[in-house]
């Protein structure tokens, strides 16, 4: 093999390796964008309820962030998540709760849960306006 051919092969090899490394440096691409928790809640069947009163907004600002609250009173259970950035509370039933967990599992995510029994402030604020339990 002559010197010109060997040099050309080395240049081609370096070019191929360089292109391969550039491809690796950009990382994997995804066709589906990551969904926010409010988007996943709505996809699971939770309904969004913006805080309409100062009392509702204050209540939501005091809720734990990034936490799914499980409110129970007697035989009634409501699953709630508060998005403090938009003062929106998401309410779901058992079926929506199960769908949310299926979505989270498919994305290998979890959510913190907090069980709350008979919170009169929650039920008084949301029951009549939202038709809860």
**33-74: pLDDT as tens digits:** 678 999 999 999 999 999 888 988 899 999 999 999 999 998
Confidence of residue 120 (pLDDT cuts 50, 70, 90): confident
Lowest-confidence segment of 22-31, 41-50, 108-117 by average pLDDT: 22-31
Query: What is the rounded distance in angstroms from the CA atom of residue 119 to the CA atom of residue 133?
Result: 13
pTM strictly above 0.85 = no
Could you tell me the CA-to-CA distances from 126 to 30, 51, 89, 107, 132 in Å, in that order? 39, 10, 10, 31, 7
Percent of the chain with pLDDT strictly greater than 90: 53
Query: What is the pLDDT averaged over residues 122-126?
Result: 82
Q: In what order do the strands lie in the sheet with 112-117?
A: 47-50, 88-92, 76-83, 67-73, 112-117
**What per-residue confidence (pLDDT) applies to 125?**
81
Q: Which residues pair with 114 in a beta bridge?
A: 69
Q: What is the pLDDT of residue 33?
A: 60
Domains of the chain by residue range: 37-130
What local confidence, expressed as pLDDT, does residue 96 receive?
A: 97
pLDDT score for 17: 55
């Amino acid at each position: 093999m002559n010197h010109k051919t060997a040099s050309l092969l080395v240049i081609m090899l370096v070019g191929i390796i360089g292109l391969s490394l550039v491809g690796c440096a950009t990382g994997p691409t995804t066709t589906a964008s990551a969904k926010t928790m409010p988007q996943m809640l709505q996809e699971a069947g939770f309904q969004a309820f913006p805080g309409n009163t100062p009392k509702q907004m204050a209540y939501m600002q005091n809720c734990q962030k990034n936490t799914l609250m499980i409110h129970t009173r007697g035989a009634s259970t409501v699953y709630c998540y508060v998005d403090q950035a938009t003062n929106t509370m998401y309410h779901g039933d058992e079926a929506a709760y199960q769908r949310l967990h299926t979505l989270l599992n498919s994305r290998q995510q979890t959510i913190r849960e907090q069980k709350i029994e008979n919170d009169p402030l929650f039920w008084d604020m949301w029951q009549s306006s939202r038709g809860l339990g």
